[in-house]
């Protein structure tokens, strides 16, 4: 099985999620450091749709830049994420079985 993790190596939850992927037998992992190589707007929207999430649910509210998006619609949130990928909550993991936000990291086991 192939798993893609949209990863930030400075994030403890992202590192914990990557560790789960590495310890799972038969998983081929693609690590995408999304701050260096952010997903396209279309890809991010598709990830959220597959995860059953809205862009607002994928917004990293801990970032100062998120404050200005309090009343923004989904399109404005996605646009902001394209300008500043730090606004994307991490980690997102995609497999053939679906997409999960690794918060908590154990949630990714559902799609392995």
Percentage above 70 pLDDT, the chain: 100
Report helix angle 41-51 to 74-83, nearest 10: 130
The number of beta carbons lying within 10 Å of the beta carbon of residue 55 is 24
**Residue showing tokens 């038969």:** 26
For the 2-111 domain, the top CATH level (class) is: alpha beta
67 assigned to active site? no
Residue with tokens 């999430």: 53
**CB-based contact 38:110 (threshold 8 Å):** no
**Which pTM value belongs to this model?**
0.94
> Catalytic one among 2, 3, 7, 11?
11
User: E strand or H helix at 32, and its extent?
Assistant: strand 28-33
N-terminal to C-terminal alpha carbon distance within the chain: 8
- Give every CB contact of residue 14 below 8 A, 6+ residues apart in sequence: 5, 7, 8, 90, 91, 102
Q: What is the pLDDT of residues 7-57, one digit of tens each?
A: 999 999 999 999 999 999 999 999 999 999 999 999 999 999 999 999 999
The pLDDT > 90 percentage for the chain reads 99
Give the residue extent of every domain in the chain. 2-111
Distance, in Å, from the CA atom of 112 to the CA atom of 106, rounded to the nearest integer, reads 11
């Amino acid at each position: 099985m192939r798993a893609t993790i949209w990863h930030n190596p400075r994030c403890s939850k992202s590192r914990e999620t990557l560790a789960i992927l590495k310890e799972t037998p038969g998983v081929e992992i693609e690590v995408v450091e999304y701050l260096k190589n952010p997903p396209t707007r279309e890809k991010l929207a598709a990830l959220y749709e597959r995860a059953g999430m809205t862009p607002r649910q994928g917004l990293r509210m801990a970032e100062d830049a998120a404050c200005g998006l309090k009343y923004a619609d989904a399109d404005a949130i996605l646009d902001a994420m394209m300008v500043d990928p730090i606004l994307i909550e991490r980690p997102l993991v995609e497999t053939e079985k679906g997409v999960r936000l690794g918060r908590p990291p154990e949630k990714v086991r559902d799609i392995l």
